[in-house]
Structure formats: structure tokens, C-alpha cells
Amino acid sequence: MSNHVAIFIDAENLTSWVKNGGVETLMEELRSLGQVVVRKAYGKWSTTQLAPLQSVLNENGFELIHTFHPVSGKNSTDIKMTVDTMEVAIESQAQWIVLATGDSDFSPLFRKLREQGKDVIGVGPKSPLSECVKNSCSRYIYTDNADEENADETERNNMLVSEKIDFIDILQSILQEEDGSIHLSVLKSKMLERDNAFSEKRLGFKTFKDFVNATDFAEIKDDGNGTLVVSLVKKKVNVQEDAQMTLAKILKKKGWDVFPKATLRKIFKLVCDKTAQKSKSKQALVQEITSKNMIGTTSGIINRVLGIFYKAKLVKINGEGEEKLWKIDKNNKYWYEIDKAMLDRLAAGLKDAGFKAKESEIKALLYGRYTTDDEVHSLLSAYRGVIE
């Protein structure tokens, strides 16, 4: 099987990603696959938006394909990119086809390439629509880290903490299903089978081995033949992790997910607008918010965020069973209600674990902006038994 790689980038859809180092990161990510024999980037390069990107793409060896848009609303870039991709797939020996688009309209192309026996890697932002493309790929690489150039560092960390916990859960479930140890490389393959967007580098680890070693339940050993194998252990000691990760894992055990404030704010605003006139089922709300294609979310994340609103008692429910209708009224104190619900669960989790957290660590988790120390002390006063 050929180890040749062909890369096609829609620069018009991924301008911010290209601008903020996405191309360099992608080339590093693909280095282990083989020789990159085709590098093409598409766009109307005469525009002020794309002209500054030419330098970085040239430096990384990309051929710049200029596309015209003679009619407003018609994207000739998509058509040209599709034609070139199919031509390369048919006429070249490239086994890996990489499509950096961020556009769900390419889903049929992804599926056709898979039918031809190609391994397809999709590249785009994490969003509900990207999930459609993701399911048609061999692997998927999120562009969020480079896309969100203006995102607050705490916001990005919260999303990555949530992702990290989800992938740790996947890792543990795979090891629990194994009868004994499993080769490290096979374990990585199984992680990608469960979620083809898994990337230890995105989560902040240099290697997959580092990711596995960072858990308190997985142990890596040499099998005596020079092969690294992983097995499940009761609990490892001396595993270092930051306070945010420790508290997030405790919250996860209590059914609470840590998500970025911006994600909660956007979904709360949307759900209030959607339910202002009429109550709707939770499923209908998820579908309507999903249709907005909010970057950084998926239908699963939206569903879990609505669960947070429910736990914070921001939801009024009418009806029973499948006929339950949700209504979320605008509430100026919704951050306080969310923080209070989170703290209740955190305090219970800390008590169960026999831990105490520093006030500064807990304050870092709060969503609300409390203008005075008295407001914070008042909020935390009920939890002094688990706060140092």
C-alpha cells in the first residue's frame, strides 16, 4: 500500500486557521503517514482576506490554485477542489487524502473516496456540521486551537479539560474490556476507532505514551521483547495533574461537565430565544441549536449543556414522559444558579474523596463575575468544610 499523502486546503473556509499556524501544525501531524506528494490550497487570492496567507502556504510547499467567483453565492472553489481531489484519487498512488475544508457539503466526496479504498482525513472546526463529515472520515483533525485566536485561555482550557476527561473515560473502558495487557500501538488504534478525532497533541501531550502515563489506572511496561504493553491497574501513585483537572474529574463523577463560559452563554441565549414563546421538548431544542452550527460544540455537547441548565434549576418542565416540554426563562442570575449547582456537586465529590480544595482553585471554576470578595465569600461560605 502506498504511503503517499495528498493535501487539499480550502483557504476561504479556514482563513483564521491558516493565519494562526494551522498549516504548520497539520504538516507536523501528518509527518508519520508518509511522503506528501500533493499540496494544493484554493481561494480567490486577489482578495484582501486571502492575500496575506500566500507567504505561509508557499513556505510549506503548497501550490496556490486561484478560483474566480463570477456569480455571487456560487463557490467555484468547492467545485475545483472536488474535481482535483477526484483526479488525484484516480490517477495517483496517494493512499491518504487530506481535505481541510470545514464544510459539510464535502461529505459526499469523503464517502466516495472511502468507497475507492482511500484513507481520508478531514480537517475543520469542531461543530455540529463537522460531525457529519467526521463520520465519513478515517480520521478527523480539529482546527479549533488555531481558529479561536481571540478566545480566552481559560475558555480553551475548559473545553480541553472536558475533552481530556472524555478521552480518559474511553481509554479506561477499552482497558477494562481487555483480558490482560494490550500493545501500546494497538491501544492507540482502538482509541481512534472509538473517536477518530482523538489527538494526544491537541490535549497537550507530546506522545500517546505520555497521555497514557498521565492516568492513574494505566501502566506501561516492556513485554520482554522490546514491545510496550498497557494494562489496567488499581491505582497508580505519583500521577501529577493540575488542580483544574483534578476538580473537573471529581465533578464528572457527580454528573457535571466543565465547559467554557462562552459555550454556556451562547446556548443559554439561544435556548431562551427559542422557548420565549413556546415550550419545546429537549430533543427539539437540541436539534434547533445544532442547526446554528455553533463552533466548539456538537449535538452531544449541546445536550450536556442543557443538562447543566436543568441541574441549576433554570428549566421549567410541563408534561410527563416523552411529552415533557422544556421552558427556560431569561434569568439575570443564571450564572449564580449554575455556580451554586456546580459547587453543591463539587463539595459532595470532595467529601467522598476525602479532599480539600484551595479557595483560589475553586474560584477559578466559577462562571459568574463577582465584583467583590464579599460576594465570593458569601457564595463559598456553605462549603468551608471542603475549602482550605
Q: Which three cell numbers stand for residue 183?
A: 500493545
Each residue's pLDDT expressed in tens, for the chain with a length of 388 residues: 568 999 999 999 899 999 999 999 999 999 989 999 999 999 999 899 999 999 999 999 999 999 876 555 457 888 899 999 999 999 988 999 999 987 777 888 999 999 999 999 999 988 888 888 888 899 999 987 644 545 565 666 777 888 999 999 999 999 999 988 999 999 999 999 999 999 998 898 999 999 999 998 999 999 888 999 999 998 766 566 788 899 999 999 999 999 999 999 999 988 887 555 578 889 988 998 998 888 889 999 999 999 999 999 999 888 876 678 888 877 778 999 999 999 999 999 999 989 899 988 999 899 998 888 788 888 999 898 898 8
Domain with CATH 3.40.50.1010 in the chain: 5-147
- For 153-240, CATH gives 3.30.420
Find out whether 379 and 339 touch, Cβ atoms under 8 Å.
yes
DSSP at 63: E
Architecture of domain 5-147: 3-Layer(aba) Sandwich (3.40)
Domain with CATH 1.20.120.1790 in the chain: 242-388
> Which helix (H) or strand (E) segment is 232 a member of?
strand 228-232
Distance between alpha carbon 108 and the CA centroid of its chain, in Å? Answer: 23
Find out whether 257 and 308 touch, Cβ atoms under 8 Å.
yes
Burial class (CB in 10 A: 0-12, 13-18, 19+), 333: exposed
CA distance 161 to 164: 5
**242-388: CATH class:** mainly alpha
Burial class (CB in 10 A: 0-12, 13-18, 19+), 213: middle
pLDDT of residue 328: 84
The pTM score is 0.86
Look at residue 8 and give its three-state secondary structure. Answer: strand
Domain with CATH 3.30.420 in the chain: 153-240
Residue in the structure block whose three cell numbers are 506522545: 207
